[in-house]
Amino acid sequence: MTGITRFGAPKDGAPTAAMLAAWRRDGVLVIEDAVPHGDCDALAERARAIVEAWDPSEGAAVFSTTAPRHAADRYFRESGDRVRVFLEDGAIDAAGRLVRPKQQAVNKLGHALHDLDPVFDRVSRRPALAALAAGLGLADPLLVQSMVIWKPPAIGGAVVCHQDAAFLITDPPSVIGFWLALEDSDAGNGCLFAIPGGHRGPLRQVFREVDGELVTETLDPAPFDETAAVALPARKGTLVVLHGTLPHGSAPNRSARSRMAYTLHAVDGAARWHPGNWLKRSPDAPFRGFGPGD
């Protein structure tokens, strides 16, 4: 038992009264069978094809939330309106050469899959997801960031407990995370965990640009109560919706199974997008909403 109420997919996507009550109480919704397996497979297949086509000599960066090095890296900073490949710690040697097959070396792809790839675009802009976002209060939703989190077998890295509002900053905080299991996840292969109700606590940190450098600023030093965290196992097709101030993360994957997930973050265009956000878009690639012409 996870202690979190699990829901079936509402008919037209809009959250039911029970879902809204759980959202307010817990700051997280687990919606089973929200996306058909065919769409999950199509996303996983596209992700693998992007990695297959990627030439490691074009450049790459290790992405680690436990030993962050990416902040100084142009490769990361320029990925806001591109699709770039980030590698696991342990996938390259001291000279930067891959020591594992590409498909088993990836930490994540990011961060504009939803705008640049037609398959990710179609699944991200499902009408049911737009109805869910509207029902959860995003008046003018803007899809700002998408990632495939690879979690490869054996070396899949941990994602430390964090609040998404620290990384996608608006005033007031408005980000909502839509996390979709592309494969079954459980405690054995590093499923998500979250602290139910923790979204009602303060935003602890912001990660932002100051004088050209990306820095983490502490707003509130109170540690997360990780003893209150619950595991959120999710079968393929399950959507986990995360409030922007909900503390959540995932354990490493030391198993022989991969744990691929797709995650999409939306903010409210009615809130002010902080100019110091790490995530930048070129002027000809503005954030768009759920509609084709938004």
Ligand X SMILES: O=C(O)CCC(=O)C(=O)O
State yes or no: residue 174 binds ligand X (CB under 6 A). Answer: no
Choose, by CB under 6 A, the member of 149, 180, 194, 232 that binds ligand X: 149
Does 258 engage in binding with ligand X (CB under 6 A)? no
Q: Is 250 in the site for ligand X (CB under 6 A)?
A: yes
Which residues have a Cβ under 8 Å from the Cβ of 57 and sit 6 or more positions away?
none
Q: Which of 292, 236, 290 is nearest to 262 (CA)?
A: 236
Q: Is 159 in the site for ligand X (CB under 6 A)?
A: yes
With CB under 6 A as the contact rule, the residue among 63, 86, 120, 179 that binds ligand X is 179
- Please, is 252 exposed, middle or buried when counting C-beta atoms within 10 Å of its C-beta (0-12, 13-18, 19+)? middle
73 binds ligand X (CB under 6 A): no
Q: Is 244 helix (H, G, I), strand (E, B) or coil?
A: coil
Written as six digits, the tokens of 271 are: 């809130």
Of 143 and 261, which CB lies nearer to ligand X in the complex structure?
A: 261
Q: What DSSP state is assigned to residue 188?
A: G
C-alpha 106/C-alpha 283 separation (Å) is 29
CA distances from 263 to 146, 179, 278 (A): 6, 4, 18
Binder among 88, 115, 164, 183 for ligand X (CB under 6 A): 164
- Convert residues 87-126 into a mask of x (bound to ligand X by CB under 6 A) and - (unbound): ----------------------------------------
What's the min distance (Å) between Cβ of 77 and ligand X? 19
First to last CA, the chain: 40
Q: Which of 261, 266, 271, 279 binds ligand X (CB under 6 A)?
A: 261
At 92, is the secondary structure helix, strand, or coil? strand
Interface with ligand X (CB under 6 A): 149, 159, 164, 177, 179, 192, 248-250, 261, 263
